[in-house]
Amino acid sequence: MPSTVPRTSKPMRFAEFFAGIGLVRMGLERAGWSCVFANDIDQTKQRLYEVNFKDPSGHFRLGDVGEVRAGEVPDIELATASFPCTDLSLAGRGDGLDGAQSSAYWSFLRIIDEMGDRAPRRVLLENVPALLRSNGGDDFGRVVQSLNELGYLADAMVLDARWFVPQSRPRLFIVAERGGNATPATPDAPTRARPLRLIEAINANADLGWSVVDLPEPPQRSRERLKQLVARVEREASEDLEHAWWSDKRQAYLRSQLSPAHARYADEHVGKRTWTYATVFRRMRCAPGSDRASSRAELRTDGLAGCLRTPKGGSAKQILVKMGYGRFMVRYLTPRECAQLMGADDFVIPDDVTDNQALFGFGDAVCVPAITWLAEHRLNTPVPAHAHA
């Protein structure tokens, strides 16, 4: 859908770092942007990228971002970086921006610095909201300060995929622009895009350089629910799913792992003459009065899938439960369902890419319509003419 927001007068070219399977590109292209350079270290992600875009052979740079030199990057108006979240998220060890993976951010920043006068007018960073708390909030401040040191003023917002698709996936975005108009750090009252925890993080770094721009309220929720999405996929790929459903024994075991409240919910909906869908994550929980943890299955029943993750272990793969007509059916979410949960409905998954490889790509990716919304309401507005002053 074309943007309704005024665009810059010059061509809107961008380079994407930590490009993954290209969903940032997909979201920006829907808002009128053109990708001229991409970099990622993962060969399978490159394969998925190449299948879905017509021109990657000319500009996809496979390899470690630490080996990329500024001279390889064409002239651009925007650089994006969905840098690794492992050391910032709850799944990491709290090493933060100096961790083995998340420290790749500094290599990206080095490239921007080395571009000198050719540095893009805007930078877009994406990561998990846990960056706001990483190392007591210091890492968020370090990111903003590092951008300030290169002449950029910063803005920040949190967008949740649930506003666009039936998946709960909040993500932190930092938009930085060179030469924008400085504003007081303190934003207005909390909004969906700037919740209280983000405002507190911005205020804690009020001495840094900010350019906080008013944003419209994002959509309240996706018009489609998980049930509708899955039912559509099942109609389109019924034969492919025949062998995906778990055996009776395996399904019964998962059902036995439900808490009493979730078991009652399952019993109620199994008895209905309609299909109900829910997702499940396995968690390690302690029973009341015990300090010994065991695996539990937790149902999510609000019409949303949980946040897609990279399938590094069995507990990270999201499970789908289908209940009704006396049946309790279980399988993993398919790559096709994950594509649609990311708003990439037509994403092509070639036969030489395994399900786990595809799931890894989607678990590391971004929600496409969230990127488009951000582009239309924050990136497509003109940057002041003195941006490189």
What is the per-residue pLDDT across 100-139, written as a single tens digit (0 to 9) for each?
A: 999 999 999 999 999 999 999 999 999 999 999 999 999 9
Calculate helix-pair angle for 138-149, 104-114, nearest 10 degrees.
10
Say whether both 254 and 191 belong to one domain.
no
**Residue 162 in this model has a pLDDT that exceeds 80:** yes
- Give the pLDDT confidence score for residue 323 in this predicted structure: 97
**Residue 1 in this model has a pLDDT that exceeds 90:** no
Q: Per the domain annotation, does 94 fall within a domain?
A: yes
- Report residue 287's pLDDT band, with 50, 70 and 90 as the boundaries: low
Say whether both 173 and 53 belong to one domain.
yes
- Give the pLDDT confidence score for residue 40 in this predicted structure: 97
Q: Per the domain annotation, does 259 fall within a domain?
A: yes
What would the two tokens of residue 117 be? 């006068």
Say whether both 208 and 175 belong to one domain.
yes
H/E stretch holding 327 reads strand 327-332
Q: Per the domain annotation, does 386 fall within a domain?
A: no
Q: What is each CA distance from 149 to 14, 109, 121, 156, 368, in whole angstroms?
A: 21, 10, 14, 17, 30
Say whether both 81 and 155 belong to one domain.
yes
Average pLDDT of 152-156? 97
Q: How far apart are CA 267 and CA 97, in angstroms?
A: 46
Residue 375 burial by Cβ neighbours in a 10 Å radius (0-12, 13-18, 19+): buried
Say whether both 176 and 236 belong to one domain.
no
- Report residue 184's pLDDT band, with 50, 70 and 90 as the boundaries: confident
Q: What is the mean pLDDT of the chain?
A: 90
Q: Where are the alpha helices (DSSP H) in 160-247?
A: 196-203, 226-236
Residue 296 CB neighbour total at 10 angstroms:
17
Query: Residues of the chain with pLDDT > 70: what percent?
Result: 89
Say whether both 65 and 161 belong to one domain.
yes
Residue pLDDT, tens place only, 13-61:
999 999 999 999 999 999 999 999 999 999 999 999 999 998 867 799 9
- Give the pLDDT confidence score for residue 54 in this predicted structure: 83
Helix (H, G, I), strand (E, B), or coil: what is residue 228? helix
Say whether both 212 and 231 belong to one domain.
no
Q: What is the CATH number of the domain that holds 61?
A: 3.40.50.150
Strand partners, 81: 17, 125
Lowest mean pLDDT across 72-76, 155-159, 232-236? 232-236
Average pLDDT of 352-363? 96
Q: How far apart are CA 361 and CA 349, in angstroms?
A: 11
Q: Per the domain annotation, does 389 fall within a domain?
A: no
Say whether both 22 and 126 belong to one domain.
yes
* Contact yes or no for 141/204 (Cβ under 8 A): yes
- Give the pLDDT confidence score for residue 284 in this predicted structure: 59
Q: Domain total for the chain?
A: 2
DSSP 28-48: HHTTT-EEEEEEES-HHHHHH
Spell 64-103 as b/e; 16+ CB within 10 A means b: ebeebeeeebeebbbbbbbbbbbbbbeebeebbbebeebb
Query: Residues of the chain with pLDDT > 90: what percent?
Result: 77
Q: Per the domain annotation, does 388 fall within a domain?
A: no
Say whether both 188 and 49 belong to one domain.
yes
Range of the domain at 355: 226-363
Say whether both 21 and 152 belong to one domain.
yes
Say whether both 298 and 193 belong to one domain.
no
Which of 224, 265, 240, 258 shows the shortest CA–CA distance to 332? 240
- Report residue 7's pLDDT band, with 50, 70 and 90 as the boundaries: very low
Say whether both 305 and 211 belong to one domain.
no
Q: Per the domain annotation, does 369 fall within a domain?
A: yes
- Report residue 90's pLDDT band, with 50, 70 and 90 as the boundaries: low
